[in-house]
Amino acid sequence: MTQAHDQLVPVPDAAVAGTSCTLEQYREMYGRSIEDPHGFWLKQAQRLNWVAPPTRVGDWSFDPVRINWFADGTLNICFNAVDRHVNAGRGEDIALIFEPDDPVADVRKLTYAQLLEEVVRMAGTLLRMGVAKGDRVTIYMPMTIEGVVAMLACARIGAIHSVVFGGFSPDAIAGRIEDCASDWVICADEGLRGAKRIPLKANVDAALKKVSVRGVLVVRHTGGEIDMTEGRDHWYHELSQGVPAECPCVTMNAEDPLFILYTSGSTGKPKGVLHTTGGYAVWTETTFRYVFDYRAGEIYWCTADIGWVTGHSYIVYGPLQNGATALIFEGVPNYPEHDRFWRIVDKHKVAILYTAPTAIRALMREGDDWVTRHDLSSLRLLGSVGEPINPEAWRWYRDVVGKSRVPVVDTWWQTETGGVMITTLPGAHAMKPGSAGRPFFGIRPQIVDNEGKVLADEDKNVAAEGNLCITASWPGQARTVYGDHDRFVQTYFSHYKGKYFTGDGCRRDGDGYYWITGRVDDVINVSGHRMGTAEVESALVLHEKVSEAAVVGYPHDIKGQGIYCYVTLKAGEEPDDDLARELRNWVRTEIGPIASPDHIQFTPALPKTRSGKIMRRILRKIAEDDYGSLGDTSTLADPSLVDGLIAGRKNR
């Protein structure tokens, strides 16, 4: 099982000094978290401020599926992220630093006291608009301070936020508004990415032609021209005039919903993953604290967007509950030039950088000069998330960016897990390039084969490769799919009874390190964004000229995986480059730019079994340019089709 790159990179000395967790402590704490989860999590929970401290801890079952944590506790997560720091005399600490898209535009810094003022103003404005506890509020915002403030303001008044990434189309927004019956939208006039304007309000207007809401709160950001609908749309700077200077935090039960976040699965439309308040608060506070080993005064920068779970847990709730200083960046890594990230690290003296392999690979390709011309000596820790990181990119990240002196944490987790599940801890674990590492406190990974036979359990030190399950609940686990608990049960708990199935393949080596090998379902990971192949297929077949479509992932140098579409046209339609372009744009408008197909291959038919099932395995192999192992094609209704598909692929 040992592979060439499967070697231990020792913990740098600098990481051990002052660490919150050494290897010995990790072992002791991990052991305790498994043997006595009640005592362990009750102790972690004490770092938070509770209105009524919990006496109950994990109360859950995976069969039937029912998950509760800290269920008799009450608290408000916004209070924990903002107010309590101010109350404790840390109001002058910097909470957020905003680095705009335009590198010469003004940086904005907000202390915790100022953040509190902003959140109170937004919360008061939401109340004035009519938002009530339990209402769903759709947030469609650029990466600005107001995006973070909008989330915290919802949490403050007990409204459930549903953040929709700014790269999603009007149709995608409408679908998400409809699914959770959201009555309210918070958006900005426009966003900025690499000097391009993103028409956020116009997209919301287009979405609201299909579904209706009671109110839209519009934050002025670029000052661009937008339309306002009388009675429905309100400018934030107008409606917030004269709102009370105080807005108390609503006391929430630990199991009251905090947010919904839509994520792609292997079938159907995106699911509204639901997270609740208390467990998520404890989980994000604890994981941030130990994984990033945060030290007072440091600048922490997570390059994700608040539209993804990484932004929720590690731009907003994790760092702010820890009283950290978090940098938020509106722009993109290559604007105005390929050194934007390194400029920012230098300019703000960033100590902890948390980004995605796709960004690392894209920047690596531009050459080391962009990096080495900047002073990156402030960096103390590097993090990676979103997809498996190839050892080459890992080494570049550590050696060129981190000058071989800082640890890299490769954090494996999911929207559904709320926070980091498998990672090395910076002062505790030697690293292996390409391996996420070891389970976080309380996490019990298990590797099973397709039939459910257990191949490796965390407490038995064996090597194995198979499908990754988690056998015990943890505080940050998603509780349900909003409005569809059956789908939650079906998706995550039906493959292997009594276990949470992650959808990921995984190898565990003899040292107990976990290596995520990628999705084993029909989900592809494009630039760290989860995309259901079924979603892209449904978008394609909505086009009037398309008869059928099958979409698969294939290895892509920068994005990790690219989107490969096989398309058959209706009788009489002619395939050509113009149509391919048109279809690509079509998918962009249906789902959003993030779902843009990388390649469209027209084919007279799709390979199917005699019972009519599309043979995706074959399509995947062909897209991967791997024809030697197509396997048995004799079950195909028309085996001759395969030659044509291969010829088409080679012509690319």
User: Per-residue x/- mask for ligand WTA, residues 384 to 403, rule CB under 6 A?
Assistant: xxxxx---------------
Residue 516 in contact with ligand WTA, rule: CB under 6 A = yes
Residue 310 in contact with ligand WTA, rule: CB under 6 A = yes
**Measured from the CB of residue 637, what is the shortest distance to ligand WTA in angstroms?**
33
- Cα–Cα distance between 79 and 85 in angstroms, integer? 9
Q: Which of 525, 527, 533, 603 binds ligand WTA (CB under 6 A)?
A: 525
- Cα–Cα distance between 526 and 554 in angstroms, integer? 10
Residue 388 is labelled as binding a ligand: yes
Q: Read off the DSSP letter of residue 593.
A: G
Instruction: Give the torsion sign (CA, 112, 117, 120, 121).
Output: negative
Residue with tokens 């259901």: 532
Residue 501 in contact with ligand WTA, rule: CB under 6 A = no
Helix (H, G, I), strand (E, B) or coil at 65: strand
Residue 222 in contact with ligand WTA, rule: CB under 6 A = no
Stretch binding ligand WTA (CB under 6 A), from 207-215, 405-413, 437-445, 597-605: 405-413
Residue 503 in contact with ligand WTA, rule: CB under 6 A = yes
Beta bridge partners of 568: 548
Residue with tokens 């036979």: 453
Contact 314, 37 (CB under 8 A): no
Q: Which is nearer to ligand WTA, 85 or 271 (CB)?
A: 271
Torsion angle of alpha carbons 6, 352, 50, 30, nearest 10°?
20
Residue 185 is labelled as binding a ligand: no
**Measured from the CB of residue 168, what is the shortest distance to ligand WTA in angstroms?**
14
Stretch binding ligand WTA (CB under 6 A), from 175-183, 187-195, 404-412, 490-498: 404-412
**Measured from the CB of residue 384, what is the shortest distance to ligand WTA in angstroms?**
6
Q: Other C-beta atoms within 10 Å of 93: how many? A: 18
Burial 332-350 (b: 16+ CB within 10 A, else e): bbbbeebbbbbbbbbbbeb
Residue 214 is labelled as binding a ligand: no
Residue 519 is labelled as binding a ligand: yes
**Measured from the CB of residue 411, what is the shortest distance to ligand WTA in angstroms?**
5
Q: Which is nearer to ligand WTA, 101 or 521 (CB)?
A: 521
Q: Which is nearer to ligand WTA, 314 or 566 (CB)?
A: 314
Residue 412 in contact with ligand WTA, rule: CB under 6 A = yes
For residue 336, CA distances in Å to 104, 105, 213, 353, 558 come to 10, 13, 38, 20, 19
Measured between its terminal Cα atoms, the distance across the chain in Å is 36
Q: Other C-beta atoms within 10 Å of 60: how many? A: 17
Residue 606 CB burial class (10 angstroms; 0-12, 13-18, ≥19): buried
Stretch binding ligand WTA (CB under 6 A), from 56-64, 167-175, 302-310, 555-563: 302-310
Q: Read off the DSSP letter of residue 387.
A: S
Q: Which is nearer to ligand WTA, 240 or 424 (CB)?
A: 424
* Strands (DSSP E) found in 106-256: 108-111, 136-140, 160-163, 184-188, 191-193, 196-198, 215-219, 233-235, 252-253
**Measured from the CB of residue 473, what is the shortest distance to ligand WTA in angstroms?**
18
- Torsions phi, psi for 18 (to 5 deg): 75, 15
**Measured from the CB of residue 504, what is the shortest distance to ligand WTA in angstroms?**
5
User: Per-residue x/- mask for ligand WTA, residues 529 to 568, rule CB under 6 A?
Assistant: -x--------------------------------------
- Interface with ligand WTA (CB under 6 A), residue total 23
Residue 411 is labelled as binding a ligand: yes
Residue 414 is labelled as binding a ligand: yes
Residue 131 is labelled as binding a ligand: no
Q: Which is nearer to ligand WTA, 37 or 503 (CB)?
A: 503
**DSSP of 485-531:** HHHHHHHHHSSSTTSEEEEEEEEE-TTS-EEEEEESSSEEEETTEEE
Stretch binding ligand WTA (CB under 6 A), from 49-57, 344-352, 406-414, 607-615: 406-414
Residue 383 is labelled as binding a ligand: no
Residue 237 CB burial class (10 angstroms; 0-12, 13-18, ≥19): exposed
Q: Which is nearer to ligand WTA, 129 or 309 (CB)?
A: 309
**Measured from the CB of residue 313, what is the shortest distance to ligand WTA in angstroms?**
8
Q: Which of 44, 68, 76, 263 binds ligand WTA (CB under 6 A)?
A: 263
Residue 25 is labelled as binding a ligand: no
Residue 452 is labelled as binding a ligand: no
Stretch binding ligand WTA (CB under 6 A), from 166-174, 500-508, 554-562, 624-632: 500-508
Q: Which of 125, 284, 303, 415 binds ligand WTA (CB under 6 A)?
A: 415
* Residue whose C-alpha is closest to residue 361's, from 103, 562, 565: 562
- Cα–Cα distance between 298 and 586 in angstroms, integer? 44
HSE-CB for 593 with a 13 A CA cutoff = 7
- Cα–Cα distance between 234 and 218 in angstroms, integer? 6
- Cα–Cα distance between 565 and 602 in angstroms, integer? 8
Q: Which is nearer to ligand WTA, 44 or 467 (CB)?
A: 467
Residue 602 in contact with ligand WTA, rule: CB under 6 A = no
Residue 413 in contact with ligand WTA, rule: CB under 6 A = yes
Q: Which is nearer to ligand WTA, 280 or 413 (CB)?
A: 413
Q: Which of 141, 145, 436, 520 binds ligand WTA (CB under 6 A)?
A: 436
Residue 305 in contact with ligand WTA, rule: CB under 6 A = no
**Measured from the CB of residue 132, what is the shortest distance to ligand WTA in angstroms?**
30
Residue 543 is labelled as binding a ligand: yes
Residue with tokens 């429905």: 232
- Cα–Cα distance between 376 and 404 in angstroms, integer? 12
Q: Which of 200, 202, 226, 309 binds ligand WTA (CB under 6 A)?
A: 309
Contact 232, 215 (CB under 8 A): yes
Q: Which is nearer to ligand WTA, 121 or 438 (CB)?
A: 438
Q: Please give the structure tokens belonging to residue 26.
A: 């990790």
**Measured from the CB of residue 570, what is the shortest distance to ligand WTA in angstroms?**
35
Stretch binding ligand WTA (CB under 6 A), from 110-118, 247-255, 304-312, 591-599: 304-312
- Cα–Cα distance between 568 and 579 in angstroms, integer? 12
Angle between helices 641-650 and 616-623 (to 10 degrees): 30
Residue 411 in contact with ligand WTA, rule: CB under 6 A = yes
Contacts of 30 (CB under 8 A, 6+ apart): 438, 439, 441
**Residues making up the binding site for ATP:** 386-388, 410-415, 504, 519, 530
**Residues making up the binding site for CoA:** 310, 334, 527, 588
**Residues making up the binding site for Mg(2+):** 541, 543, 546
Binding interface with ligand WTA (CB under 6 A): 263, 308-310, 384-388, 410-415, 436, 502-504, 516, 519, 525, 530
**Residues making up the binding site:** 310, 334, 386-388, 410-415, 504, 519, 527, 530, 541, 543, 546, 588
